[in-house]
Amino acid sequence: MAGSAAPEFSLPATGGKTIALSDFAGRKLVIYFYPKDNTPGCTQEGLQFKELHAEFVRLGADILGVSRDSVKSHENFKAKMEFPFELISDPEELMCAAYGVMKLKNMYGKQVRGIERSTFVINEKGEISREWRGVKVPGHAREVLEFVATL
């Protein structure tokens, strides 16, 4: 997908907003897909992006988190963790499908469909500059920041 146009989206998000890719025209955008609000790995990942948020902003990049949780769940998660960025609700997996992040995973010996933790950096022209799939949380936000600094 790197080098191709980022898939368009327009979905409900925290703060009573509907967020679309076109809202970020001319800016860099980091979109991270995570499995579920208020789970240990997803909380850690969000907190790492929160910790580096000012540095992303300084580099002209916005951050969006995306999962299948409801806007209400996102509002609670965002407030509890004091995330300075919006979370997009994608219960129908429209954006997840467009970015190809839905995978079959093994959980307690059962096959379940879920979001593969993935991050995409979109450049000012609306193209995917880089993608990470099957993300391991420790150090990931810093690695994304270092990549954004090269754009």
Nearest to 41 by CA among 111, 143, 134: 134
Q: Are strands 10-13 and 17-20 parallel, antiparallel or unpaired?
A: antiparallel
Told to judge if 42 belongs to the known catalytic residues of this protein, a careful annotator would answer yes
For CA atoms 45, 51, 54, 56, give the dihedral sign: negative
Residue type at 34 in one-letter notation: Y
Q: What's CA 4's distance to the chain center, in Å?
A: 18
- φ and ψ at residue 28, rounded to 5 degrees: -85, 150
Q: Which one from 29, 30, 42, 61 is the annotated catalytic residue?
A: 42
Residue 42, H or E segment: helix 40-51
Residues with catalytic roles:
42
